Amino acid sequence: MRRLTDLLKNIYGAQVQGDLTVQIEGLAYDSRKVQPGFAFICIEGYKTDGHLFAQNAVENGATVIIAEKPVTVPSSVTVVTVEDTREALAYMGAAFYDYPGDKLNIIGVTGTNGKTTTTHLIENILVKAGKKVGLIGTIKNKIIDRVLPVTNTTPESLDLQALLAEMVDAGVDYAVMEVSSHALELNRVAGCEYDQAIFTNITQDHLDFHETMDNYLAAKQKLFINLGKNSRKSRNKYGIINIDDSKGQSFLEVTHGQVITYGIQSAADVRAEKIDLRSDGVSFTAVTPRGSVDLKLNLTGLFNVYNSLAAVASGLGENIALPVIKEALEEVKGVPGRMEKVEAGQPFAVLVDYAHTPDGLENVLSAAREFTKGRLITVFGCGGDRDRTKRPIMGEVSAKLSDFTVLTSDNPRSESPAEILRDIEEGVKPIIGPEKYTVIEDRKEAIRHALNMARAGDVVVIAGKGHETYQIVGTKVLPFDDREVAMEILKEKFS
């Protein structure tokens, strides 16, 4: 329980109508979650407007409304008008939970691809170093060993603060989290002070939301601009940057933190040499300011060398010894749904991967090509209600890099699967003829087609859904797991 004045401390220009000393029992940004004595924060969203539910919130017991524009509520209710309710939600949430982020070391990873993988690698390093770790990201949220469900990659600010507070109560030392560009743009992480900010890469995605690559870049840079600014914690801040990325330098320029660069092509602080890619992993020497170390990882693909270098740099930033980092990284068997093998005794390889961007697909197919002796067969689709412009580019990537492509449905959401497939096909047609691809909307049948045509030495990549255990069709969430579907089909044939 807190007083309203305490919660408004970091919000400038708030105009209050009513009692400022009222005690707040809880906060909610969804009127349906309001309980007696709560403050309801109205958010103008993309689907609806929270201001429309102010009265509803009052009926559920809200005594305070935080709004950006006029709301009609009884005069007994305190109304606070602020410029940005999403920002207010974040700052009020941090204050309500007594600034949990200040009691933790927080490592934030942003970038188009590699966030989930990199956070998993860092988690392993920190655990190996004896730290208690919390994880926040696409696959799962985790407090030490307790796994919690996930709705978004980066939770809404209030939920994030509640989660960080739970971590503090559980004795967590480090929170390692993915910071999506949506979260940065929508102020989900405002009020959360990072100790390390990591940039993996930036390539096209989410233009439905950000509209331009410049806006997308600016959203990601926020994590670095805020690093070490108005710091409440007395410790070193590190900006860890992939300097091989064409935008890497721009992150270096905006950050207030100490910079550690990583890369393969550039003269980076942490770099990889003598890279040896195999089908079952990659070996390389990590050269760092604290010496070199030979690493033999179970993750394959050049992109995983980058993810590992980011994790090495992160470990060094936390003063973890190289032998500990080595042991931790070498123990990682894989990340669920990322180049995950499905094996039922078949004479060809089947990989389920989460590539859902042009760059992700290019990376995963290039990696697979390295160990494909026969044909590389790709099954993929694109999500509905997401960046439409990436669809033909992904079509082009698969057409160029695969020997055969099966286009299928991903999560169509509110869109027509056939139309999404037509968008992808636009990119395929100019590159290859109909003998090199097919369109099978039903994802299970598409996977069956690819597995039926595969012969010894071939590699089948099923991309886009990775760890997902569902398929979103319209508003329905139907059970669907690429790994289970592939296994079931393979078992029918090979065991």
Ligand X SMILES: Nc1ncnc2c1ncn2[C@@H]1O[C@H](COP(=O)(O)OP(=O)(O)OP(=O)(O)O)[C@@H](O)[C@H]1O
Ligand Y SMILES: CC(=O)N[C@H]1[C@@H](OP(=O)(O)OP(=O)(O)OC[C@H]2O[C@@H](n3ccc(=O)[nH]c3=O)[C@H](O)[C@@H]2O)O[C@H](CO)[C@@H](O)[C@@H]1O[C@H](C)C(=O)N[C@@H](C)C(=O)N[C@H](CCC(=O)O)C(=O)O
Identify residues 337-366 at the interface with Mg ion (CB under 5 A): none
What single-letter DSSP state applies at residue 221? H
422 is in an annotated binding site: no
Cβ contact 137:130 at 8 Å: no
Residue 410 contact among ligand API, ligand Y, ligand X, none, beta carbon within 5 to 8 Å by kind: ligand API
188 binds ligand API (CB under 6 A): no
Q: Is there binding between residue 115 and Mg ion (CB under 5 A)?
A: yes
Give the chain's length.
Answer: 495
Is there binding between residue 386 and ligand API (CB under 6 A)?
yes
Partner that binds at residue 383, options ligand API, ligand Y, ligand X, none, CB closer than 5 to 8 Å by kind: ligand API
Looking at the Cβ atoms of 180 and 242, the one nearer to ligand Y is: 180
Q: Report in angstroms how near the CB of residue 52 gets to ligand Y at its nearest.
A: 8
Site string for Mg ion, 176-205 (x = CB under 5 A): --x---------------------------
By beta-carbon proximity to Mg ion, the closer residue of 111 and 263 is 111
Considering beta carbons, is residue 103 or 209 the nearer one to ligand X?
209
- Residue labelled with tokens 């290859």: 432
> Which is nearer to ligand X, 113 or 288 (by Cβ)?
113
Element (H, E) at 95: helix 85-96
Question: Which residues contribute to the site for ligand Y (CB under 6 A)?
Answer: 29-32, 43, 45-48, 50, 53, 152-154, 156, 180, 182-183
SS3 annotation, 126-175 = HHHCCCCEEEECCCCEEECCEEECCCCCCCCHHHHHHHHHHHHHCCCCEE
Show contacts with ligand API in window 446-475 (CB under 6 A): 464-465
191 binds, among ligand Y, Mg ion, ligand API, none (CB under 5 to 8 A by kind): none
Shortest Cβ distance from residue 188 to ligand API (Å)?
Answer: 14
Q: Would you say 236 or 389 has its CB closer to ligand X? A: 389
Minimum separation from the CB atom of position 443 to ligand Y (A): 20
Q: Is 138 a residue that touches Mg ion (CB under 5 A)?
A: yes
Q: Is 114 in the site for ligand API (CB under 6 A)?
A: no
297 in Cβ contact with 285 (< 8 Å): no
Long-range contacts of 27-30 (CB under 8 A, 24+ apart): 27/89, 27/92, 27/93, 27/96, 27/158, 28/57, 28/62, 28/158, 29/89, 29/156, 29/158
- Return the residues of window 344-373 that contact ligand API according to CB under 6 A: 356
464 assigned binding-site residue = yes
Q: Taking CB within 5 to 8 Å according to partner kind, which of ligand Y, ligand X, ligand API, none is near residue 411?
A: ligand API
Give the residue with the Cβ less far from ligand X, 68 or 340. 340
**What single-letter amino acid sits at 200?**
T
Tell me which residue of 180, 126, 136, 183 sits closest to 162, measured CA to CA.
136
Nearest-CB residue to ligand Y? 45
**Partner that binds at residue 183, options ligand Y, Mg ion, ligand API, none, CB closer than 5 to 8 Å by kind:** ligand Y
User: Is there a binding annotation on residue 242?
Assistant: no
C-alpha to C-alpha distances, 191 to 100, 101, 129, 164, nearest whole angstrom:
10, 8, 28, 12
Query: What's the number of CA atoms in the CB half-sphere (13 Å) around residue 349?
Result: 22
- 413 pairs with which residues across the strands? 473
Smallest distance, ligand Y to C-beta of residue 295, A: 27
Do the annotations mark residue 475 as ligand-binding?
A: no
* Spatial distance between the Cα atoms of 75 and 73, rounded to a whole number of angstroms: 6
By a kind-dependent CB cut-off of 5 to 8 A, residue 116 interacts, out of ligand API, Mg ion, ligand Y, none, with Mg ion
State yes or no: 288 annotated in a binding site.
Answer: no
DSSP letters, 405-422, are EEE--S--BTS-HHHHHH
Beta strands in 47-96 (DSSP E): 64-67, 78-81
Task: Figure out which of the listed residues 78, 112, 124, 153 binds ligand API, where binding follows CB under 6 A.
Answer: 153
Closest CB 71 distance from ligand Y, rounded Å = 12
Q: In what order do the strands lie in the sheet with 258-263?
A: 146-148, 141-143, 133-136, 174-178, 105-110, 196-199, 238-242, 258-263, 270-278, 281-288, 291-297
Looking at residue 335, the DSSP 8-state letter turns out to be: B
> Which residues fall within 8 angstroms of residue 122, CB to CB, at 6 or more apart?
107, 109, 176, 310, 311, 314, 315
| Token representation of residue 422 | 């037509």
Residue nearest ligand API, CB atom distance: 383
Q: Which residue of the chain is nearest Mg ion when measured via CB?
A: 138
Shortest CB 377 distance to ligand API, Å: 19
Interacting residues with ligand X (CB under 6 A): 111, 113-117, 138, 153, 178, 200-201, 303, 306-307, 338, 353-355, 359-360, 363-364, 466
The sign of the torsion formed by the CA atoms of 144, 150, 156, 158 equals: negative
Q: What whole-number distance in Å separates Cα of residue 7 and Cα of residue 93?
A: 8
Residues of each annotated binding site for ATP: 111-117
Query: Residues within the annotated binding site?
Result: 31, 111-117, 152-154, 180, 188, 386, 410-413, 464, 468
Residue numbers at the binding site for ligand API (CB under 6 A): 153, 356, 383, 386, 410-411, 464-465
Binding residues for meso-2,6-diaminopimelate, by number, are 386, 410-413, 464, 468
